[in-house]
Amino acid sequence: MRTENQIKSKINELSMQKKKLQTRLAALEENSPERASLLNQDARLDDMITMLEWVLFEPSGSYHM
């Protein structure tokens, strides 16, 4: 099990990667072949960040109502 600080550190690391990736995306032309790959990486980073945030800030309440 990871500590809260380790999770926060990983979120920060992934956020930095996402910013760099978005900078690269902004520099590419709309029809660039590299763009699709970078968009997939961006979506994957979003998913990883969301999962870590869920672990860090566990939702309250019940899933089934």
Q: In the prediction, which pLDDT does 12 show?
A: 98
Query: Phi-psi category of 59—alpha, beta or left, where left has phi over 0 and alpha has psi -120 to 50?
Result: beta
Q: In the prediction, which pLDDT does 25 show?
A: 93
Give per-10-residue mean pLDDT for the chain (65 aa): 91 98 92 92 97 86 65
Q: In the prediction, which pLDDT does 60 show?
A: 74
What is this structure's pTM?
0.81
Q: In the prediction, which pLDDT does 24 show?
A: 94
Q: Where are the domains of the chain?
A: 2-55
* Phi and psi, residue 37, nearest 5°: -65, -45
Report CA 42 to chain centroid distance, whole Å. Answer: 7
